[in-house]
Structure 1
Amino acid sequence: MPVRFMHPRPSSIVAALYTARDLEVEVAILHGPSGCSFKHARLLEEDGMRVLTTALADNEFIFGGQKPLESVLRYAVDQFAPGRMAVIGTCVSMIIGEDLTAAIDSAGITTPTIAVDIHAGFAENIAGVLATLEAAKGAGWITEEELARQHRLMGKANEIEKIRGAASQEYIEPSRGDLKHVAAQRLVECANSGAKGVAILNAKKETAYMFADELIALHDASPGADITYIANLDNRGLPKVRADAQRIRDGMASRGVKPELIGALDEYGATGDALGARIREIAPLFALIAGVPHAIPPEYTNGIECFSVTNGPRQVAPLHAIGHEHVLVEIDLHPRTMGVCDIVESEFGAVIRSIAR
């Protein structure tokens, strides 16, 4: 019987919002109550995308909300003159049967705008990603090939979460991870011992702005160490994803780290075997893996002392279970990587640097 989650999981509505941002949508309109996806809507505004709401209330639950949506669409165009917009559905708009496309057509606007029919009742949050991309393909914003690529990547990301991630158990106790100063001390000892090591960035999209700092900090602490640096910063993906990868590559290079490239920022779930094969070629005694460490199957890391950095408190136990000895959590990572254009210092990176002084 499939695992039924008993801890909170990401919402498909929120996934749709983030995907709209990656498509360079400048205004997203949530067609639902004002509190729907409140936290992430605020975070996304830090990243430059305006998020408006139709603020549906109990009377619209009965009589429908098309007129309020048309009004908000016109307001968005007049107020912000966006190049692209997206209307994102919610549970309420789905239940009352709102026709988002009809509202866009009736609003009298000319701004390119997609309608994303979505709600939070899907078993997998990737439904929100794919619904947004399907609408984008229909509007000519992405190609059929990119849509097929994204379907494959979302499937792989979902698979690793079910096998080795936060969706692998009914309930996972959240944890802040191991003590950072103890792990940092041991990592610097490994690097300075002459042992061969590998430092891998395999991060999801904008989270790489902080996870990259872990690799830079290790280089700062042990610049002459025998460490191979690898990062998923290839130039593929949706517009914002490609732009972020370029900025992070440039930021790492300016700080003295020029990693081998394996995968792109949206391929974090599909890079496991390629990274594993490279690990076997290098044959390291220790590994620093930042971002989505559980994407790498454990057969590639068995016998290696792993220092794994995640931003998921519910990822600590699954990583320990597959043999990662040191698991660190960057608990405030996501809010600190919204709206940034350069690498952000991480807590573990700061501790590594303090150890090396």
Structure 2
Amino acid sequence: MEYVQPRPSSIVASLYTARDLGVEVAILHGPSGCSFKHARLLEEDGMRVLTTSLGENEFIFGGQGVLERVLRYAETEFSPKRMAVIGTCVSMIIGEDIEAAIEASGVETPTIGVEIHAGFRENIEGVLAVLEPAARAGWISEDELERQRRLLAAANQVERLRGAASQPYIEPSRGDLKHLAACRLLDLARSGKRGVAVLNAKKETAYMFADELCALREACPEAEITYLANLEDRGLPKVRADGERVLAGMQERGLDPELLGSLDEYGENGAAVGERIREIKPDFAFLVGVPHAVPPEYTDGIETISVTNGPRQVAPLKAIGHAMVVVEVDLHPKTLGVREMVESEFGAVLRSMAEGE
């Protein structure tokens, strides 16, 4: 596929994966502005992100000495349990030996080097670039590495088939108006029809997407709705901790969903969710998180309302038959660094409409 729209960066994917592995300091070996926005957001999530700030001099003569100094500074200043050096386009083009710099620095903190740049078409390359040295360092098992390979391939396939990577260019959209979608969802839930509400979210986005299921139950506690959530206890350290916290938050709000899949299985989880939907035989479905993971044959003939955080995901969801699609535009920044549920805009609309009646 030849894309003419921006796609996620493999360098950024490496940073997020390092965070999920419990890395406390990540060092970007490149110019100071590389991945600046995401570096700042990740600092709010508890991982310090430093840079070697490579400039014209290092472009010519190399930056190994600079990297060694930053590694020693990071160890002395922050006493981290784990560190990772993340490559960039510059460090890869000039041929920096990241592993040699780590060894020469003399740091004793467990540290991995990540050979990555932004020239990959698929951002999952950035994930694997971290997981492979992590497995060699004993941070994860070989079985977990193979599991992650399988999950990444599944997630990538979903994006190619029904996601934002399904076309060279997709017009961004804010989707249906939230109050109209909420009104229809409430009408369906109160009509006596059988429904299913599914959380199939990616990692920390569940802190907000789960709120939408809670809001629906609060608004319609007597409705015949089966709630499903991908909050089983599997995955990298942070992913498992997030799943545990989100489940506890839902239970505190009186919703104890049926568990189906884990937070890193969102891409592979679609068929399992679909089979469960077939067993339930609902009249309507409410899918939040990564709704396009569920193949359309499972929702054919079912009025489906979905919530995504991707403006380029609206058109593909409409194309596979979803009646209404809502976008939580600012979801990702609002869920970075949090450790408890975050109220969603759509959840707030559901609650306000229910209270106003």
Q: TM-score range by the shorter chain?
A: over 0.9
1:135 and 1:47 map into 2 onto residues whose CA distance is: 23
SS at match of 1:309: strand
Partner in structure 2 of residue 68 of structure 1: 66
Partner in structure 1 of residue 147 of structure 2: 149
Q: Deviations over 1:165-223 (max 9, x none)?
A: 00000100001110000010010010011100000000000000000001000001000
Partner in structure 1 of residue 165 of structure 2: 167
| Cα root mean square deviation, aligned | 0.4
Alignment equivalent of 2:44, drawn from 43, 46, 51: 46
Which aligned segments of 4 or more residues in structure 1 are displaced greater than 3 angstroms? none
1:59 and 1:176 map into 2 onto residues whose CA distance is: 45
1:288 and 1:298 map into 2 onto residues whose CA distance is: 14
Alignment TM-score, normalising by the size of structure 1: 0.99
SS at match of 1:115: strand
Structure 2 letter corresponding to 1:58? E
Q: Deviations over 1:134-180 (max 9, x none)?
A: 01001000000000000000000000000000000010000111000
Partner in structure 2 of residue 319 of structure 1: 317
Partner in structure 2 of residue 158 of structure 1: 156
Residue 176 (1) aligns with residue 174 (2): yes
Matched residues, number: 355
1:75 and 1:43 map into 2 onto residues whose CA distance is: 22
Alignment TM-score, normalising by the size of structure 2: 0.99
The offset of 1:21, in angstroms, is: 0.1
Partner in structure 2 of residue 189 of structure 1: 187
Q: What does 1:77-226 align with in structure 2 at a 5 Å threshold? A: 77-226=75-224
SS at match of 2:273: helix
Residue 243 (1) aligns with residue 241 (2): yes
SS at match of 2:326: strand
Alignment equivalent of 1:263, drawn from 261, 264, 272: 261
Q: What does 1:19-34 align with in structure 2 at a 5 Å threshold? A: 19-34=17-32
Q: Deviations over 1:284-327 (max 9, x none)?
A: 11111010000000000011111100000000000000000110
Structure 1 letter corresponding to 2:10? S
Partner in structure 2 of residue 291 of structure 1: 289
Structure 2: state its 5+ residue gaps: none
Partner in structure 1 of residue 305 of structure 2: 307
The offset of 1:330, in angstroms, is: 0.3
The offset of 1:355, in angstroms, is: 1.1
Q: Deviations over 1:207-240 (max 9, x none)?
A: 0000000100000100010000000000000000
Alignment equivalent of 1:336, drawn from 330, 334, 337: 334
2:73 and 2:267 map into 1 onto residues whose CA distance is: 39
Partner in structure 1 of residue 274 of structure 2: 276
Residue 351 (1) aligns with residue 314 (2): no
SS at match of 2:113: strand
Partner in structure 1 of residue 251 of structure 2: 253
2:167 and 2:16 map into 1 onto residues whose CA distance is: 26
1:39 and 1:308 map into 2 onto residues whose CA distance is: 28
2:194 and 2:254 map into 1 onto residues whose CA distance is: 19
2:78 and 2:193 map into 1 onto residues whose CA distance is: 56
2:17 and 2:117 map into 1 onto residues whose CA distance is: 15
Structure 2 letter corresponding to 1:309? V
Partner in structure 2 of residue 234 of structure 1: 232
2:304 and 2:254 map into 1 onto residues whose CA distance is: 23
2:235 and 2:45 map into 1 onto residues whose CA distance is: 18
2:168 and 2:6 map into 1 onto residues whose CA distance is: 11
SS at match of 1:323: coil
1:263 and 1:144 map into 2 onto residues whose CA distance is: 21
Instruction: Give percent identity, aligned residues only.
Output: 72
SS at match of 1:134: helix
Alignment equivalent of 1:18, drawn from 5, 16, 19: 16
